[in-house]
Amino acid sequence: MSTLEFWQQKAAALNFEGRAWIGDGYSTAEQGRTLPCINPANGDKLTDIADCSEADVDRAVGLARAAFKRGDWSQRTPAERRAVLERFADLVAEHTEELALLETLDMGKPIGDSLAFDLPQTEHCLRFYAGALETQTDEILPTGKNVLATVTREPVGVVAAVVPWNFPLMITCWKLAPALACGNSVIVKPAEQSSLSAIRLAALAAEAGIPAGVFQVLPGQGRITGQALGLHMDIDCLTFTGSTLTGKRFMAYAAQSNLKRVWLECGGKSPQIVFADSQQLERAAACAAAAIFVNQGEVCIAASRLYVEDAIYDEFVQLLLEQARQYQPGAPLDPASRAGAMVDQLQFDRVVSGVKDAVAAGARTLTDTALIGTQGAGWYLNPTILECDDNSNPVMREELFGPVLGVCRFHSEEEVVALANDSDYGLGAGLWTDNLGRAHRVSHQLQAGMVWVNSYADGDITVPFGGRKQSGFGRDKSIHAMDKYSDLKSTWIDLSH
């Protein structure tokens, strides 16, 4: 229905706001410092964004704490908070096209994905936690006749959320929505590459009735703004999604400062296994391609390792190659594009050099397309499939965060479970089988926070999302996420006197 021209015209009419949102309005960073905000589709500068300093972080934390103490959010009844969060979700829905455009222009994903996935997920997340907050109940424990012991939930206070660029709005809301629902003040630091939608979100939150200082957005550099949040003595909780390296830094920041609680959703190198007994190989091939090539492969749960049983290996690889062709990158604003531009030059270079390293280490290129492609002045990568003999090749071990799939043959269930678990990461895992016993047995043995049987990457806001091992701990989404942003208080009341 809509066309590239339609979205280009819409984009040309957009106003970009790159200032931080501190207290109750837009704010420049200390000394007016800025960072360029680049459109990865063509390398053009969209605008400048605030480059927040330690002093900006201090100011925002002070306002967040004051708001928490004031109580015009933290002390409101669940029903009142629910009404505001629902208005917030309504406003996100009303601004779907604008927010989807900001997302696509800022980080290069196809506009069709922003509209069909990121925005509905964001809105639904806000609505889910608006509803969930009234379902939280406290406890009275069976301690005996002469005493009443209650366990009540309290908001933790000031929460900082440091988020990545691959699903900027959606991941922001996975943290923001439950933290706000619990009554906290929240400071979001978006990634340098993708701050525009979070800044717009803060203005919509204020319009919905979120009080001053309760939701603030501080764009800036990880090693300055992010680090200042991590080390701050008056932040109670730091919730993070991003690389494992940065996640480890946040644990160190917490140890060096006030022992703030840290929740980490980090990287992955998720395996997908196709057993020869599967009667749905065409579907499995379509899913395996989508699982690595959607969003240009910039997906934490991307199934970037594929293990195929020997008896069907050649047939399956042919099916996979046909599916991969659909993910040739195109203009992000073209609704027909199934993949867009890589987020920036750094990420492009990282993936290109990862492919070169894999080939140098013996991986065979199966894709008949050009290995790496560029288009215009932006950063585009073709879907790439590399065949490996075992897990020793770097493409089977290191997260590249791009459209690159490593494929390996296996001969037995025992062997493939060992191969799948032979990783520092433990985020997602998938398996394809028509054998019910094997489906249960193998899912049970896989070391991953999420396992998909005969599908991959299904999600729902009601279901927890997160990993094990060096993929992190704690869960986004679902009612369980509210545990991260609330404290339990045990109160003993002596009834004997």
Question: How many residues bind ligand NAD, per CB under 6 A?
Answer: 30
Q: Does 266 bind ligand NAD (CB under 6 A)?
A: yes
> Site mask, ligand NAD, residues 470-489, x = CB under 6 A?
-xx-----------------
By C-alpha distance, which of 248, 356, 243 is closest to 298?
A: 243
Q: Does 34 bind ligand NAD (CB under 6 A)?
A: no
The length of the chain is: 497
265 is catalytic: yes
- How far, in Å, CA of 238 to CA of 231, rounded? 10
Identify any residues that bridge with 409 across adjacent strands, giving them in sequence order: 308
Q: Does 304 bind ligand NAD (CB under 6 A)?
A: no
Q: Does 263 bind ligand NAD (CB under 6 A)?
A: no
Pairing, β 425-426 against β 468-469: antiparallel
Identify any residues that bridge with 139 across adjacent strands, giving them in sequence order: 151
Q: Does 164 bind ligand NAD (CB under 6 A)?
A: yes
How many of the other CB atoms lie within 10 Å of CB of 267? 24
Report the helix count and the strand count for the chain, using DSSP H and E.
Answer: 16, 22
128 vs 253 by CB, closer to ligand NAD: 253
- How far, in Å, CA of 8 to CA of 10, rounded? 5
- Residue 401 — φ and ψ, nearest 5°? 60, 50
In the numeric block, the tokens 């091939």 are attached to: 285
- How far, in Å, CA of 172 to CA of 153, rounded? 23
Q: Does 73 bind ligand NAD (CB under 6 A)?
A: no
Q: How far is the CB of 154 from ligand NAD (least distance, A)?
A: 27
Q: Which amino acid is at 137?
A: T
- How far, in Å, CA of 369 to CA of 5, rounded? 28
Q: Does 267 bind ligand NAD (CB under 6 A)?
A: yes
Identify any residues that bridge with 149 across adjacent strands, giving them in sequence order: 141, 492
30 vs 90 by CB, closer to ligand NAD: 30
By C-alpha distance, which of 291, 288, 262, 271 is closest to 427?
A: 271
Q: What is the CA radius of gyration of the chain?
A: 23
Q: Does 162 bind ligand NAD (CB under 6 A)?
A: yes
Token representation of residue 421: 């678990």
Q: How far is the CB of 190 from ligand NAD (least distance, A)?
A: 6
Among 185, 227, 328, 391, binds ligand NAD (CB under 6 A): 227
Are the CB atoms for 226 and 196 separated by under 8 Å? no
Q: Does 403 bind ligand NAD (CB under 6 A)?
A: no
189 vs 409 by CB, closer to ligand NAD: 189
Site for ligand NAD in 178-197 (CB under 6 A): 189, 191-192
Q: Does 226 bind ligand NAD (CB under 6 A)?
A: yes
What is the Cβ-side half-sphere exposure of residue 25, based on CA atoms within 13 angstroms?
0
285 vs 300 by CB, closer to ligand NAD: 300
Site for ligand NAD in 235-254 (CB under 6 A): 241-243, 246, 249
Q: Does 469 bind ligand NAD (CB under 6 A)?
A: no
Q: How far is the CB of 187 from ligand NAD (least distance, A)?
A: 12
Among 110, 178, 219, 222, binds ligand NAD (CB under 6 A): 222
Q: How far is the CB of 301 from ligand NAD (least distance, A)?
A: 7
Residue 109 CA: distances (Å) to CA of 44, 112, 327, 428: 16, 8, 12, 22
Q: Which of 17, 192, 265, 399 is catalytic?
A: 265
Q: Does 170 bind ligand NAD (CB under 6 A)?
A: no
Q: How far is the CB of 256 from ligand NAD (least distance, A)?
A: 12
Q: Catalytic residues, which ones?
A: 265
Which residues sit at the interface with ligand NAD, rule CB under 6 A? Answer: 162-166, 171, 189, 191-192, 222-223, 226-227, 230, 241-243, 246, 249, 265-268, 300, 399, 401, 427, 467, 471-472
